[in-house]
Amino acid sequence: MERYLSVDSGGTKVAAILYDENFSPVKTARVGSMRETTVKPEMIRQHVEELIEQLGIQKGMVLKKVAGASYGDIPMKERLRSLCTIEKEEYTGEFDVGLYAAGIFNGGILVLSGTGSDVFGKYNGIGGMIGGYGSLISDEGSGYWMSRMACEYAIRDYEGRGEKTLLTEMILEHRKEKEMHKALGGLYHVPNTAPTTAIASLSILVEKAALAGDAVALRIIDAAAESMASQTIAMIKLYGYPAETPITISGSAWKTPGMYSKFEKIMREYDPDLNIILPEFEPIMGPIIKDYYDKFGKFDDEAKAKFKKEYPQYIFSINK
């Protein structure tokens, strides 16, 4: 059996799929982030070893190819090389794997909103990036950004100087604390978790509050959608992309209820003819889909059905 490895390195986690020559899964893994800008070295090493164990990687194993989004995961690459014979490496970025996951193989625009955020574009040989300044500076419209906004509103409510919101009690309950300083201060010291990741994890509370009709949570989601739309429109204007340029999304923040609908509404108001494509698979599937496309020259409904059957946990779904 031939073995191939797909990797998706993000701000919150690293996902990996070991698959065979028939594009079928052998082993899957999911561990914490390996980004050196937000994760301590000892934690990165721990995550690397967890990844190796979950995938069942053994010394002397041959990997025909390792491909995927690679950011801040040098220790993982070095560890794999120390254990395996790797015949080919095709590490790329979130842009490429995000497009491939949406069945886009000849360039387009990727609107990323996960732990962090940015907008990538490359079409007809012209490309660049909007946003992507990181959590210390911006990451506007991301899950981390929404979580920070939730904390700010909760603080104001808790201190009696702001609008009432369900987020206040939700944060206290989630953190198992009765006092806001302890609840939020503890996010800097969550075991085996970078502060950025710990804060971003609160985005699930924005989703829950929004589903309960909380006005503050709904405004946060709208603001995130508006930010991602404004960045995408800026990308289109800056590089003069035509309406037929494929545009797709990527990242867990898009699963927040109503965010995609608001984003699409703003984009359609800007230009009703835009070619917006919702991905059917998570980014980790991008390298596998690209392999299939390179082998058969297509990624049709039959291929999609096969992948949905064999990789049901990696189907991309959102609450519009």
pLDDT tens-digit series, residues 220-261: 999 999 999 999 999 999 999 999 999 999 999 999 999 999
Which regions in the chain score pLDDT beneath 50?
A: none
pLDDT of residue 35: 76
DSSP symbol at 108: E
The CATH code belonging to domain 106-278 is: 3.30.420.40
Q: Give me the residue label for tokens 């929404």.
A: 146
pLDDT of residue 102: 97
In this predicted model, what pLDDT tens digit does every residue of 152-164 receive, in sequence order? 999 999 999 999 9
d(CA 221, CA 302): 36
What is the three-class DSSP state of 247?
A: strand
pTM, entire model: 0.89
Assigned fold of 4-101+281-314: Nucleotidyltransferase; domain 5 (3.30.420)
Task: Answer for the pair 175, 186: CB distance below 8 angstroms, yes or no.
Answer: yes
If residue 127 lies in a helix (H) or strand (E), which one and from where to where? strand 126-131
pLDDT of residue 71: 65
DSSP symbol at 69: E
d(CA 119, CA 232): 6
d(CA 247, CA 241): 11
pLDDT of residue 167: 98
pLDDT of residue 32: 84
**Pairing assessment for the beta strands 85-86 and 62-63 based on DSSP bridges:** parallel
* CATH 3.30.420.40 boundaries in the chain: 4-101+281-314, 106-278
d(CA 200, CA 297): 39
